[in-house]
Structures are given as C-alpha cells and as structure tokens.
Amino acid sequence: MQKRKLGKSNLEVSAIGLGCMGMSFGYGPAQDTLESIVVLRAAVERGVTFFDTAEVYGPFKNEELVGEALAPFRGKVVIATKFGFQLKPNGEPGFVGLNSTPGRIKEVAEASLKRLKVDAIDLFYQHRVDPNVPIEDVAGAVKDLIQAGKVKHFGLSEPGAQTIRRAHAVQPVTAVQSEYSLWTRGPEKEVLPTLEELGIGFVPYSPLGKGFLTGKMDENTKLDSGDFRNTLPRFTPEARKANVALVELLGKIAEQKKATPAQIALAWLLAQKPWIVPIPGTKKVTRIEENIGGAAVQLTASDLAEIESAAAAITVQGARYPEQIEKMTGL
C-alpha cells in the first residue's frame, strides 16, 4: 500500500484508510464484535494504517471495538477519533446537540484514551463546529492536550475556510475531514484551496457516496430499517434513480481500466491532490481488498478530463443530509 503525508505535518498514513463507523453504528444492526475485529486486523495485514472512529458512534462502542482490535498494532497504526457532540444520557444512541467547551473536550479525550487503549490520541478532530464556542478556545484546548502528551495532532470535520484559518493560527491543524466524492464536491470551492495554502491534509469521508457509487445500489434497493440512509434526501428511490447516471459514468471508466466503479471513485479522489487520504467504510474483508485496489489504478490526465466533463453534465439530486444536520456544516 502506498503511503501519503497529511499536509506538512509529516503524519504518514496509508493512501486509503478505513472508516470504522458502520461496523457498530448507522448502517443497520451492529456487526458481531468478533467479526469486526477480524475485519480490522485483516485491514492492517493488507497495509491499511489509518483508522477513523468517534465517541458518538454507538456511542462509545466503535471506539471500544477499534481499541480492542488494534491493540496488537500499537505504534504501527494511526487512530483518529472525534469530540464535539453532547451525547444523550445513559449511553443512549444519538446526541442532543453540540458541545466543544474546553472542559468537555478534555473529558472526551480522557475517556477516548481509555476506550482506544492508547497513551495518546493520534488525531483528534472536532466532529462539527460548535457555534457557541469560539474556535480559538477549541484549538487552545487541543493545544493543551498536545502539550500534555495526550493528543498528537489536531483536526477539524466539516469546517468552513475561515474556521480553518482561525483554528490553525492557534494550533496547527494537521487534517480536515469532510464529505467529498464525485457526487459531493462542496470542498472544492474554498476548503481545498485553503488547505493547500496552509499545508493541511484532507480526509474525505463517504468517498463512495455512502455506498451508492459502488454500483451495488439502485432505486429498488431495500435498506435496513435502522440504516440512517433512510433519512437522507439523496437516498430516496426517486433520487437514487436520477443519480444512477453518475454510477454509469464510473462503470464506463472502470471497464476501460479493468477495475470496479468503487476503485475508480477512489482513484479519482487520490488523483486530485497528493495530500488527500479517503476513508471508505466497510464491514467486509473483500471490500477492503477492493478499496485498496483503488490506490493502484492510474488515471491519466485524459481520463480525469473525461470524468470531469461527463460529471459536469450530471445534476445530483437530493441534499446530503436533512436540513437540521446540514446546518452543522461550514461548507
């Protein structure tokens, strides 16, 4: 597996990471813990060194899973986790709002360290920008944790360009994580140029469009009742039917390259900038192997121009999230 550095930070990770959320949260029933441990360890054996989790996934269950599965690989893998949501009481699933007060950040860090079974959190993201807490205070709290040796790198998830600049002035930001793929291109306008200027890495989540860009879904695909995609405007049957044009485009390129649509979607992201590291999620070893194969696909300037031209003619139907969640992003 090729390696990439996240910006100027010298934090080196595998060119494709693994988003771990879906193993225990969001996509229907949680996978059996032992099965998930097998998948996570298989990812390491195949060269994946970058794993993404968060306190809110479960809550807590995903961090505990990642901590247990990756315990034998301490020092060989990079684990990113996140703070920023005010959770429901008694460990109930979900959250009641945002909370990035410095005291709360430090509480989350201590709890995450225990669940992940590590001495320091490799990359600690603010999960969503909290409008009630100045980003300078957030960056200052993480700076304190870095100085105390409890966190190694600071990250932001779904921030706007000005938020990135203000945070970076207090504590250098190593990575920004936002949704980015061929059907979600919001970061291109302001965020990516800002990251390039400041030397910050970019970690696209949902790089396969929450599964849609793999070509394995259409308007007739039935999702589990507990699958959060049921709540997303972009996943209504009507939107899926309209958006299949994008999958057909990926399939056409995939045929030419003897690859899969998922591999083309990931190769396209990797071709955008050398400091971009996508984190597709999966519950299956076969999909990890397929996704890793995306890093080996070489897209020429001509291929990229063809994809760009065809994608420009396709209007993606449906918002990414319901309105109340979309408001939490700075894009």
- Contact status, residue 205 vs residue 177, Cβ threshold 8 Å: yes
Q: Output the CA angle 22-27-29, nearest 5 degrees.
A: 95
Kindly write down the DSSP assignment for every residue of 106-160, as one continuous string.
HHHHHHHHHHHT-SSEEEEEESS--TTS-HHHHHHHHHHHHHTTSEEEEEEES--
Q: What is the dihedral of CA 272, 277, 278, 283, to 10 degrees?
A: 150
- Contact status, residue 234 vs residue 317, Cβ threshold 8 Å: yes
Q: How far apart are CA 148 and CA 49, in angstroms?
A: 25
Which letter does DSSP use for residue 177 in this model? E
Q: How far apart are CA 269 and CA 17, in angstroms?
A: 13
Residue written as tokens 């969001």? 26
Q: State whether residue 42 is helix, strand or coil.
A: helix
Of 27, 57, 125, 205, the active-site residue reads 57
Pairing outcome for strands 12-14 and 3-5 = antiparallel
Q: State whether residue 52 is helix, strand or coil.
A: strand
- Contact status, residue 24 vs residue 65, Cβ threshold 8 Å: yes
> For this structure, is 57 an active site residue?
yes
Q: How far apart are CA 129 and CA 83, in angstroms?
A: 10
Q: How far apart are CA 331 and CA 312, in angstroms?
A: 20
Q: How far apart are CA 238 and CA 30, in angstroms?
A: 28
- Contact status, residue 202 vs residue 272, Cβ threshold 8 Å: no
Active site residues: 57
